[in-house]
Structure 1
Amino acid sequence: QIEGADFSVGAAEMLNEILRGMTHPVPAGSFAAHSDLIDDCFAKDTAEEIVAALDAADNEWASEQAATIRTKSPETVKVALRQVRDGAKLDNFEENMRMEYRIGWRKVQSHDFLEGVRAVIIDKDNAPKWKPATLEEVSDADVARYFEPLGDDELTFGD
C-alpha cells in the first residue's frame, strides 16, 4: 500500500489515501432499524421519562428495552445516564478518566454492587434486591455523590 502512496501530499492526506484502500462498508447494526425511536426516547431528560417513552412507544423492541432497564439497579441506571451526558461535555481525556474513576471507586463500595455480586455470583438466584428499589426513589443527591471529588484518593496524571 505504501509503495503506491502519493508522497506529494501532506501526511494526513497520504494516510487517508492508504486507509481508504483498506476499508470496507460496515453493515448496519441491530439498533439501526430503531434509530429514530432511540433518538426520541433517549432524548428525554430523566431515566423515568426515558422508560415511560419506551413504554408509550407501542413497539416490541422498545418494550423489551424498558423491561431490561427495570431489571437493572435503579441507582446505576441514573448514574450511567448522567455519566454519558456529563462525559460528552468534558474537554479532555484526564477529566473523563477522573469522572470514570470516581464512579468506579464509589460503585464497588455500594449496596447495589455487592447485591449484584450476591445475586449473580454467590447465590446465583439472579434476583437482586436493589436499594433504592425504583428509579423514582433514587434522588439527585444519590446520583451526585458518585461524581464528587475523592480528595486524597483522586486519580492523578502526574499533576
Structure 2
Amino acid sequence: MSETITVDQAEGDLIARREGAAGVLRLNRPKAINALTLEMTRVIEGAMASFAADPEVALVLIEGAGERGLCAGGDIVGLYHSARQGGDLGPVFWREEYIVNANIAKYPKPYVAFMDGLVMGGGVGLSAHGSHRIVTDRTKIAMPEVGIGFFPDVGGTWLLSRAPGEVGTYFGLTGEIMNGSDAIYAGFADALVPAANWPELRAALTAAPANASAQQVRDIIGRFAVTTEPGTARRHRAAIDRLFAHDSIEAIAAALEADGSEFAQGALKALRSKSPTSLKVTLRLLRQARQAPSLEACLIHEYRAALQVFASAEFIEGVRAAVIDKDRQPKWQPARIEDVDDEIVGRYFAHRGANELTFPT
C-alpha cells in the first residue's frame, strides 16, 4: 500500500508517502544531488510528525532520488546569494534545519537512513543522527565545510567529537572523504549493505510489521549487511591520534609538516587549502563539543557560529571560488593561520541573545 502524505506540488523536491509499514522521505532533486532547501526541510518536519502519529507506520526511511547520492548538502548557492544581498535565508534555514536534526536523533520510531553515494553536510544531518544508518560500497561521506569558509554543522561537531581518538578531528579539519567502512568506524553509520542489495532490503523494510521494534528493524538490515575492510581512518589511526591531538591549528600543522609520511603530507596539503579562520573555529567547536552534554548543546554552539559565518566575507568568498566562479582560488582574509587571532575566533562563539537557537519542549 502506498499513500502520499505530503508532496511539494510546485517542484516535487521532497516526496513523503507511506509504503507499507514505512514512512518514506525521498529527496527529489537528483540533478543537484538532492541538495537540501528550506522548503524541503519544512516538508520533512511535517512528514516526520505525521509518520510519528500514524499507527500503521513502523519506521521512517530516508533516501535520495537518482544514482549520485543521498544529499550533497544544503543549497549553498541560495545561501550565497542571500548573504550577498543582506537577506536572512541562512539564519532561518539553519534554525529550522538544526531543529529537524535534533528531532531525528530523538525520533520515537526507527529512523532508517540509506546513505548511498554522496552524503555531505546537510545530508549528514538528515542521516547520521538516525537510529539505523546504512552505508554502501558507493558511499562517500564528507563534511568539507572548512573549504568554503564554514565549519561542520548540522550536529557534525557532536558526531565528530565522539569518533575514536582524533579521527573526528582529522575528518573535520581536512574535509576528507569517508567510505562506508570509515563511516562505521567513525560512528556515522551502523551497517554496510551493497548497493545492489538495496531493492531487496527496501522491500523487506516496507513489509515490516506495523509494530516492529528497533531491534526487529536492525535484524532485517543485518540479514543484508556485510563485513567491511579497514578504511583510511583505521589504517592510519595511530598517526591520526598523534598528529591531530593538539589544541591549536598551528601545532597540528607543525606536527604534520615535521612528519615525513605520505599520509601526513596529504593531510597538510588539505589543511593549507582551507579557510584559516574556519580551521580555528572548527577546532574550537570540536574541543568544546567533547564536553557538551547533548546534541542540542552542540547545535546551539553551531548556530551561534553559523550566524557569524553568514555575516562574514569568508563564506561568500569560499562559495564563490568553489561553486560560482569555480576558480578554486579563494582569497581568505586573514590568509595565514597565525593571523587569525582570538578576537576573530571569539566572534563565532558570542551569545546571540534573542537570536539564540532554542528547541521546542
TM-score tier after normalising by the smaller chain length: 0.7 to 0.9
Flag as ranges the 4+ runs of structure 1 deviating above 6 A. Answer: none
What RMSD over aligned residues (CA atoms) do the two structures have, in Å? 2.2
- Which residue of 269, 281, 290 corresponds with 1:88? 290
- Which residue of 313, 318, 324 corresponds with 1:111? 313
| Structure 2: gaps (5+ residues) | 1-214
Give the secondary-structure state (helix, strand or coil) at the position aligned to 1:78: helix
**Aligned AA (2:346):** A
Alignment match, 1:7? none
Paired with 1:145 and 1:94, the residues of 2 have a C-alpha distance of 20
- Is 1:44 aligned with 2:246? yes
**Aligned AA (2:342):** D
Using the TM superposition, name which of 92-101 and 75-84 deviates more.
92-101
Using the TM superposition, name which of 141-150 and 80-89 deviates more.
141-150
Paired with 1:94 and 1:68, the residues of 2 have a C-alpha distance of 30
Q: Kindly indicate which of the two structures has a greater share of residues assigned to strand.
A: 2
Paired with 2:350 and 2:318, the residues of 1 have a C-alpha distance of 23
Q: Deviations over 1:37-69 (max 9, x none)?
A: 110011112101101101111101110110110
**Aligned AA (2:247):** D
Q: Deviations over 1:104-155 (max 9, x none)?
A: 1211221111111221222221111000101100012211211111111111
Paired with 1:55 and 1:63, the residues of 2 have a C-alpha distance of 7
Paired with 1:156 and 1:44, the residues of 2 have a C-alpha distance of 32
Percent of aligned positions that are identical? 39
Alignment match, 1:143? 345
**Aligned AA (1:92):** S
**Aligned AA (2:360):** G
Give the secondary-structure state (helix, strand or coil) at the position aligned to 2:236: helix
Give the secondary-structure state (helix, strand or coil) at the position aligned to 1:48: helix
- Is 1:152 aligned with 2:354? yes
Matches within 5 A, 1:70-89: 70-89=272-291
Alignment match, 2:128? none
User: TM-score, structure 2 length as denominator?
Assistant: 0.38
**Aligned AA (2:308):** R
- Ranked by relative contact order (alpha carbons within 8 Å, sequence separation 6 or more), the top structure is 1
- Is 1:126 aligned with 2:328? yes
Paired with 2:319 and 2:288, the residues of 1 have a C-alpha distance of 27
Paired with 1:27 and 1:139, the residues of 2 have a C-alpha distance of 42
Q: Which has the larger radius of gyration?
A: 1
Paired with 2:357 and 2:295, the residues of 1 have a C-alpha distance of 12
Paired with 1:123 and 1:158, the residues of 2 have a C-alpha distance of 40
**Aligned AA (2:324):** I
User: TM-score, structure 1 length as denominator?
Assistant: 0.82
Contact 2:247 2:283 in 1 (8 A): no
Q: Deviations over 1:78-100 (max 9, x none)?
A: 11111111011111222111011
Q: Aligned residue pairs: how many? A: 146
